[in-house]
Amino acid sequence: MANQAIEQRINDFMAKIIAKNPGEKEFHQAVKEVAESLIPFIEENPKYKTAKILERIAEPERVILFRVPWTDDKGEIQINKGYRIEMNSAIGPYKGGLRFHPTVNLGILKFLAFEQVFKNSLTTLPMGGGKGGSDFDPKGKSDNEVMRFCQSFMTELSRHIGPDTDVPAGDIGVGGREIGYLFGQYKRLRNEFTGVLTGKGLEWGGSLVRPEATGYGAVYFAQEMLKTRNLDFKGKIIAISGSGNVAQYATEKATQLGAKVVTLSDSDGYIYDPKGIDAEKLAFVMNLKNIRRGRIREYCDKYAEAKYFAGKRPWEVKCDIALPCATQNEIEGDDAKILIKNDCLCISEGANMPSTPEAIELYLSKKILYGPGKAANAGGVATSGLEMSQNSMRMSWSREEVDAKLHTIMINIHKNCMKWGTESDGFINYVKGANIGGFVKVAEAMLAQGLV
Ligand code: NDP
């Protein structure tokens, strides 16, 4: 099909998506990126076109919206919104995290659930796609307030999830503490101890390496990309954004591989430490963010060699490898230009959709190594899948076993991206590779299961 006709198909498809899902700009953005890779492929494979597989994937199987009332420490009633998007169950139970953040809305959760369908398929494990959360902001709340919120949220959510139906996990604002409160309430309501959530504590059904998995996985994926150009992490300068779960373990693994991580950030600004964030400094960050729940600028009170840049993103720092691990659309076109000007070799996305379409276009035009989130950060959900397997077998695997399985999965995701994304000049377009690689398995399952 001629390029112009393909472009017309993409435009027509997107016009319908925008009309059906008004105002959901992140969802439009995520669907467009996938449609651009998939529509040319679908035109060559008419069985997917006739069955309208892409149109069906872009429509959630079910959207659950609910009220979450709770009482704060002053006795005042608070009301938040609760959501669960059950996007696609063709290859397994819905699976995907819960996000608690004031910016959460339907469009953001639909973009995340849509990406999750492709990501989960890429892991090779039997998991469908879902996502959920609330506009609740855990920041500044006491443990008791977080617990009461989680209990109220789960009271409704428990009607819709289950170990063979829908298995949520953590995401922004939902870490070990929140998963604990959510699990406790589910168990109490249902009177059953099952693997209904992943990211659980080790003592109560969690998997070793689950906390590390997303950050480690993004580094393993970058390692595979670098290998295609005979490069590795040793001696490289790394810029990381975020300072939460994903950023912390990306820092740990990159440092273990001999690289120097020089930045971390939060939504207020970033710190630059030219000497590198070594294991001891990382332990300080983990305590600061996970226990004291403080701000990243406090790093500079402790380490005089570091500087804090309020209201800025770390991409202006010269680096060889960038690992965005905070949130969506945190690398815009201008940030990408600076990264490229500074000879950044490789971008591996720990976060979901951190690069805007303009940034992605620049990476691809300069043919730099670019691993999109749905491939590069799939290690988290893959290890959640391993947690589900261990729960079903009532067994737990050793750290080495889980890490080895995670590493193998990331290598295989990379191979799958190469298979579908290698272009005629040898350049690997990981965007195309991840989109087509993730699509085919789901599409075949949907064809086999009929019009449901
Ligand atoms: P955390 O809540 O542990 O950490 C999030 C980090 O990102 C914090 O440092 C936070 O700063 C920062 N951040 C959040 N929102 C913004 C914003 N609007 N602007 C700038 N910084 C922001 O979350 P995770 O580490 O779990 O998640 C990070 C990313 O990784 C997300 O995109 C998530 O979807 C993705 N991801 C996570 C997985 C997981 O297993 N946890 C799996 C796959 C992807 P602050 O404290 O100021 O809010």
CATH of the domain at 124: 3.40.50.10860
Q: Is residue 268 part of a domain?
A: yes
Residue 222 shares a structural domain with residue 302:
yes
- Residue pLDDT, tens place only, 108-129: 999 999 999 999 999 999 999 9
Is 355 contained in some domain?
yes
pLDDT at 97 over 70: yes
What is the rounded CA–CA span in Å between residue 170 and residue 40?
Answer: 35
CA–CA dist 429, 38 (Å, integer): 13
CA of 326 to the centre of ligand 1 (A): 4
Q: Report CA(345)–ligand 1 centroid distance (Å).
A: 23
Ligand 1: nearest atom to the Cα of 199: 40
Residue nearest to atom 46 of ligand 1 (CA): 266
Same domain? 346 vs 222: yes
Residue located nearest, by CA, to atom 39 of ligand 1: 171
Q: Whose CA is nearest to atom 20 of ligand 1?
A: 267
Q: How many CA atoms lie within 13 A of 349 on its CB side?
A: 25
pLDDT band at 2 (very low <50, low <70, confident <90, very high): confident
- Write the residue with the smallest CA distance to atom 15 of ligand 1: 327
Residue identified by tokens 């965007």 is 431
- Cα–Cα distances in Å, from 297 out to 50, 285, 290, 303, 322? 54, 10, 15, 10, 20
155 pLDDT more than 90: yes
188 plus 217 within the same structural domain? no
Boundaries of domain holding 229: 213-371
Question: Can you say how many angstroms the Cα of residue 224 is from the centroid of all Cα atoms in its chain?
Answer: 19
Q: Is the pLDDT at 409 greater than 70, yes or no?
A: yes
Ligand 1, residues at Cβ distance < 6 Å: 170-173, 175, 214, 242-247, 266-268, 325-327, 330, 350-352, 377, 380
Residues 233 and 314 in one domain: yes
Range 311-326 average pLDDT:
98
pLDDT at residue 1 above 80?
no
CB 356 within 8 A of CB 333: yes
Residue 8, number of CB atoms within 10 A of its CB:
13
- The CATH number of whichever domain residue 321 belongs to comes to 3.40.50.720
- Measured from the Cα of 313, ligand 1's closest atom is 20
H or E segment to which residue 170 belongs: none
At 370 the pLDDT is: 98
**Å from CA of 51 to ligand 1 middle:** 37
Give the position, in ligand 1's atom list, of the atom nearest the Cα of 101.
15
Q: SS3 for 435?
A: helix
Of all atoms in ligand 1, which is nearest to the CA of residue 175? Answer: 3
Instruction: Tell whether 277 and 331 lie within a shared domain.
Output: yes
Query: Among residues 350, 371, 392, which one ends one of the domains?
Result: 371
DSSP 210: H
384 located within any domain? no
Ligand 1: residue whose CA is nearest its atom 7: 326
Residues identified as active-site: 131
Using pLDDT thresholds of 50, 70 and 90, give the confidence band for residue 350: very high
Burial status of residue 46 (CB atoms within 10 A of its CB: 0-12, 13-18, 19 or more): exposed
Report the side by side order of strands in the sheet with 307-310. Answer: 307-310, 269-272, 260-266, 237-240, 321-323, 346-348, 369-371
- Strand 260-266 relative to strand 237-240, pairing: parallel
- Tell me: do 149 and 218 sit in the same domain: no
Domain presence at residue 367? yes
CB burial string 174-211: b at 16+ within 10 A, e below = bbbbbbbbbbebbbeeeeeebbbbbbbeeeebbbbbbb
Q: Under a CB-based contact definition with an 8 Å cutoff, are residues 9 and 40 in contact? A: no
Ligand 1 centroid distance, CA of 247 (Å) = 8
Q: Are 324 and 219 in contact (CB under 8 A)?
A: no
Give residue-wise pLDDT tens across range 28-72: 999 999 999 999 999 999 999 999 999 999 999 999 999 999 999
Collect all residues with Cβ–Cβ distance below 8 Å to 108 and sequence separation of at least 6: 26, 27, 99, 328
- What pLDDT does residue 179 have? 98
The answer to whether residues 133 and 178 belong to one domain is: yes
Examine the domain organization and report whether 152 and 183 are in the same domain: yes
Q: Which atom of ligand 1 is nearest to the CA of 326?
A: 7
188 and 333 assigned to the same domain: no
Question: Which of 344, 371, 398 is at the close of a domain?
Answer: 371
Per-chain mean pLDDT for the chain: 98
Q: Is residue 208 part of a domain?
A: no
Band (427; pLDDT cuts 50, 70, 90): very high
Number of domains composing the chain: 2
Same domain, 124 and 264: no
Asked whether residue 44 is assigned to any structural domain, the reply reads no
What is the 267 CA–ligand 1 centroid distance (Å)? 9
Of the residues 85, 266, 330, 335, which should be mutated to test ligand 1's pocket, given the most ligand atoms within 8 Å of the CB?
A: 266
d(CA 119, CA 440): 12
- Asked if the structure places residue 240 within a domain, the reply is yes
Residue where one domain finishes, among candidates 132, 158, 193: 193
Q: Per the domain annotation, does 206 fall within a domain?
A: no
Query: Domain check: are 237 and 189 in the same one?
Result: no
Q: What is the reported pTM? A: 0.97
- DSSP at 197: S
Residue nearest to atom 5 of ligand 1 (CA): 244
Whether residue 251 is found in the same domain as residue 338: yes
The token pair that represents 60 in the structure block:
């959630």
